[in-house]
Amino acid sequence: MTKTIHILGICGTFMGGLALIARELGFEVSGTDANVYPPMSTQLEKSGITLFQGYKTEHLSPAPDLVIIGNAMSRGNPMVEYILDRGIPYTSGPQWLADHALQDRWVLGVAGTHGKTTTTSMLAWILEDAGMKPGFLIGGVAENFGRSARLGEHPFFIIEADEYDTAFFDKRSKFVHYRPRTTILNNLEFDHADIFDDLDAIKRQFHHLVRTIPGTGLIIYPAADENIQDVLDQGCWSETQTMGDAHDQADWSITPITSDFAQFSVSLNNESYKVNWQLIGQHNAMNAVAAIAAARHAGITPDIACEALSKFKSVKRRMERLGMINNISIYDDFAHHPTAIEKTLEALRQHVKNQRIISILEPRSNTMRMGVHKSSLREALSRSDLCFIFQPDDLDWNLESVINTGDGDFQIFSDIESIIKSVVETAKPGDHILIMSNGGFGGIHHKLIQALETY
């Protein structure tokens, strides 16, 4: 049995979660990343994991029994070249997880372009609240657990099933390694333009996932999603259940009780159940019904699942309310795609009614930086009353070509300090400020709060 493991890219959410599971299994774990910083570094160090900063070959001396290489690593990385030259055993994170943590487990996988992290967290919490003590690996910190991963107890393991590629030596999507018995396909759009040529290439990977699901397994998907239907039309050997609203003629349907979906009902086979929770938005209600359906496949009745969701606390950076300063609310959201931006703003608009929404956007994901979705960005942001957009130096396109800056509701900035200054001068009591980025955004969250407090 391998005793020592070194992880390249350990501070990423997936790799960091994998490190925690490896430690629980009794392995001696260390790891390297380009930047080692909280909160992941703190979480790992508390678990007895040694961290190194910078990809220096001396971090592999003495040589570990195995190196797990993250998908952000590529040929030319000094540690990668050192591993290959010296024949040090290596594998990918998804493959290691499949071999050591998922064997003989009932895997519940959550895939899709949007909502994976939130839905995975909901499903893990439903099983936890029912006393099942599941294992999980989530692409974010679930607030009900205060961590992103754990080994848990048999038989259930819930995993965020990402379509991104596995490693430089394995270009299949991560999720083909997981062999889920219960599978949620939340939605399917074009994303990850840095590794997929087109939507058909992503559909092909999703069908590879479908091929791994047993005949006794279950696939849960939205009835109105034509892209997922295209995937299933290529071949499906498992039971399926659909979800949607009252117009979709789905197996599972949702109906709002309040306009912002803070309360809604879930129906199956003419039986109806009520959810009253802390989240808002139709997209979150759809995430919830997917989790309820998956939990039912694992033996949890819908009434118990709905009760668990009343205690669900969401996920860090998913429209997370950071605070209220002078009656101005500040939120942080992990936006990475125009559809996600639109749905988040739609949910906030339904919740705050006529109060002003000020959105601040950093187009940071690879797909956004490449400009693949630039034509839909302005429409996605249109539910904001004011929008301040950061144009970083490495953006491959000019925001002004898409965002009509003749409209005062949209303003473009080349530095973060100017954004903060403009927001502070503009914001007034009763406003809601939504910061959207899938990265750190130069620490704008803390800086803006400080500026509002001292203004």
Domains of the chain, residue spans: 4-96, 102-309, 320-454
Inter-residue contact 286 to 115 (CB < 8 Å): yes
- The CATH number of the structural domain formed by 102-309 is 3.40.1190.10
The DSSP secondary-structure symbol of 294 reads: H
Inter-residue contact 138 to 121 (CB < 8 Å): yes
Inter-residue contact 220 to 326 (CB < 8 Å): no
**Radius of gyration of the chain from Cα atoms?**
22
14: closest CA among 163, 179, 129? 163
CA distance linking residue 105 with residue 248, whole number of Å: 33
Decide which of 3.90.550.10, 3.20.20.80, 3.40.50.720, 3.40.50.10110 is the CATH code for 4-96: 3.40.50.720
């997370």: which residue's tokens?
320
CA distance linking residue 359 with residue 16, whole number of Å: 31
In angstroms, the Cα distances linking 288 to 149, 199, 243, 281, 384 are 20, 26, 10, 11, 26
The DSSP secondary-structure symbol of 169 reads: T
């039912």: which residue's tokens?
296
State whether residue 120 is helix, strand or coil.
helix
List CB contacts of 433: < 8 A, sequence separation 6 or more: 328, 329, 330, 331, 358, 359, 360, 423, 427, 448
CA distance linking residue 120 with residue 136, whole number of Å: 8
Q: Taking the mean position of all CA atoms in its chain, how far away is CA 163?
A: 11
CB atoms within 10 A of CB 291: 30
CA distance linking residue 322 with residue 326, whole number of Å: 13
Inter-residue contact 314 to 121 (CB < 8 Å): yes
pLDDT score of 220? 98
267: closest CA among 284, 283, 253? 253
Q: What is the 3-state secondary structure (H, E, C) of 211-253?
A: HCCCCCCEEEEECCCHHHHHHHHCCCCCEEEEEEECCCCCCEE
Per-residue pLDDT 10s for the chain (455 aa) are 669 999 999 988 899 999 999 999 999 999 999 987 666 788 888 888 999 999 999 999 999 999 999 999 999 999 999 999 999 999 999 999 999 999 999 999 999 988 899 999 999 999 999 999 999 999 877 888 988 899 999 999 999 999 989 999 999 999 999 999 999 999 898 776 677 888 899 999 999 999 999 999 999 999 999 999 999 999 999 999 999 988 888 999 999 999 889 999 999 988 999 999 988 888 899 999 999 999 999 999 999 999 999 999 877 677 777 778 888 888 888 776 777 788 788 878 888 888 899 988 887 766 566 555 666 677 778 788 888 888 877 776 677 766 665 555 878 888 889 888 888 888 889 989 888 887 777 788 888 888 888 87
pLDDT score of 252? 97
269: closest CA among 252, 285, 257, 254? 252
The partner residues of 29 in beta bridges, in order of sequence, read 5
CB-side exposure of 311: number of CA atoms within 13 Å? 13
CA distance linking residue 383 with residue 436, whole number of Å: 14
3-state helix, strand, coil in the chain (%, to 5): 35, 25, 40
pLDDT score of 264? 95
Inter-residue contact 309 to 277 (CB < 8 Å): yes
329: closest CA among 310, 313, 348? 348
Helix (H) or strand (E) segment spanning residue 119: helix 116-129
Helix (H) or strand (E) segment spanning residue 448: helix 444-454
102-309 and 4-96 share a CATH fold:
no
State whether residue 101 is helix, strand or coil.
coil
Q: What is the pTM of this model?
A: 0.82
| CATH T-level topology, domain 320-454 | Protein-Tyrosine Phosphatase; Chain A (3.90.190)
